[in-house]
Structure 1
Amino acid sequence: MNQLIKVIIPAYNEQDSIANVINDIPSIVDEIIVISNNSTDATELNAKNAGATVLKENRKGYGYACLKGMNYIAEQKNKPDIIVFLDGDYSDYPEQLMELVHPIINDNIDFVIGARVKELRENGSMTPQQIFGNWLATSLMSLFFGAKFTDLGPFRAIKYNKLLDLNMEDKTYGWTVEMQLKALKQQYTYTEVPMKYRNRIGVSKVSGTVKGSILAGVKILSWIFKYSFK
């Protein structure tokens, strides 16, 4: 059965990488939607020239950008079967999208995380604080919910109707963990697919700064403890 797939890419000042990301996405994808999250460089122009639909979200925050993309899709007549989320920094390998959606298409899984496993990561592609934060968050989800997640990887795929049922609300750093926690709460079927991961083009806006790392960590932990005591 043919599945309609749309890709949502939040991007903040990713002019040097965004075209690479778009060009490496398999042609099976119906539409690539780049949300410029208050970019001040040529991100929007480069994304448009590479063939993507470009939206603007001036409120800074990863979740704001993702929600902008979802609102755009909600207004379309033909709704997708699968939504893929992907970062615009070229740290993931977009050509692995078919591996990511395979469990949904072939095994009827609801939700798939592209796991940045150690043996497939380029040296230095994840900062020590990212590695520790992932370990802590997934360990807590295992402790409180019996979850099998090993990563909060942003390269992920989910059935569109299941995504809508999550009623996503986080506007900033907690988007990924919110999705995983709500999927657990709603007892979605899920799996992880090991993915390659490389050093991003440019500097990370989150893990590349002390402030960003702290704020992200606090937001992630707050979501976990919020759901742990519901």
Structure 2
Amino acid sequence: VASQKTTPEIIVFLDGDYSDYPEELTKIIEPIINQDMDMVIGARDKKLRESGSMTVPQIFGNWLATSLMKLFFGAKFTDLGPFRAIKYKKLLELNMQDKTYGWTVEMQLKAIKKRFSYTEVPVRYKKRIGVSKVSGTIKGAIFAGVKILSWIFKYSFA
């Protein structure tokens, strides 16, 4: 087993359901490279979203979560978009725990708490392939909402 002698500088996340545009990766990492940002969120801009690519519960939940993050933490996020980039060393500092619905909000909340620099860049978003375990079912939408809100309230009163 070969050991890895070098580590990456930037880690990029995107959904594997064909909803993100991988060719926009350069837009996502550009603020890290040129402005020394710690983290960049690909914001699924309404003008760039394919009609029907986000469900009403997704749009509302996203708005609610980012509004609460603004209220409690002064965050400037408009999206919990999964297409994102972060400096590798900063990602390790976050000590991420959530392996399900709450990972996006956990990352953003921990970055705020650690005073990481961040920005958003508008990205396109299209209808996914297949049915989402999260937004495609009532159960998934409820679990995701509860998980996201629990992370926000956990950090609000910590």
Provide the residue aligned with 1:101 in structure 2: 29
Structure 1 length-normalised TM: 0.67
1:213 aligned partner: 141
CA drift at 1:82: 0.1
Alignment match, 2:100: 172
Q: Tell me how far 1:96 sits from its aligned partner.
A: 0.2
- The sequence identity of aligned pairs, in percent, is 77
**2:13 matched to 1:85?**
yes
Of the candidates 80, 84, 89, which is equivalent to residue 152 of structure 1?
A: 80
Q: Which runs of 5+ in 2 are unaligned?
A: none
SS, match of residue 141 in structure 1 = helix
Query: Are 1:223 and 2:154 an aligned pair?
Result: no
Give, as a single letter, the amino acid of the residue that structure 2 aligns with 1:181. Answer: L
How does 1:1-230 map onto structure 2 within 5 Å?
Answer: 76-230=4-158
Worse-superposed segment, 143-152 or 196-205: 196-205
- Larger Cα Rg: Structure 1 or Structure 2? 1
- Matched residue SS, 1:217: helix
Cα drift, residue 171 of structure 1 = 2.1
Cα RMSD over matched residues? Answer: 0.7
- Report 1 or 2 for greater relative contact order, CA contacts < 8 Å, sequence distance ≥ 6: 2
Give the 4+ runs in structure 1 shifted more than 4 A.
none
Tell me the distance in 1 between the aligned counterparts of 2:44 and 2:112.
20
The letter of the residue matching 2:111 is A
Return the alpha-carbon distance in structure 1 between the equivalents of residues 151 and 85 of structure 2. 21
1:104 is displaced (CA, Å) by: 0.1
Which residue is 1:64 aligned to? none
Q: CA deviation at 1:167?
A: 0.5
| CA distance in structure 2 between the partners assigned to 1:171 and 1:81 by the alignment | 22
The alignment partner of 1:105 has SS state of helix
Displacement of 1:86 in angstroms is: 0.9
Q: Which runs of 5+ in 1 are unaligned?
A: 1-74
Aligned residues: 156
Match of 1:70 in 2: none
Q: Deviations over 1:84-128 (max 9, x none)?
A: 001100101000000000000000000000000100000000000
Distance 1:188 1:146 in 2: 13
In the TM superposition, residue 201 of structure 1 has moved relative to its aligned partner by 1.1
SS of residue paired to 1:195: strand
Deviation at 1:78, TM superposition (A): 1.4
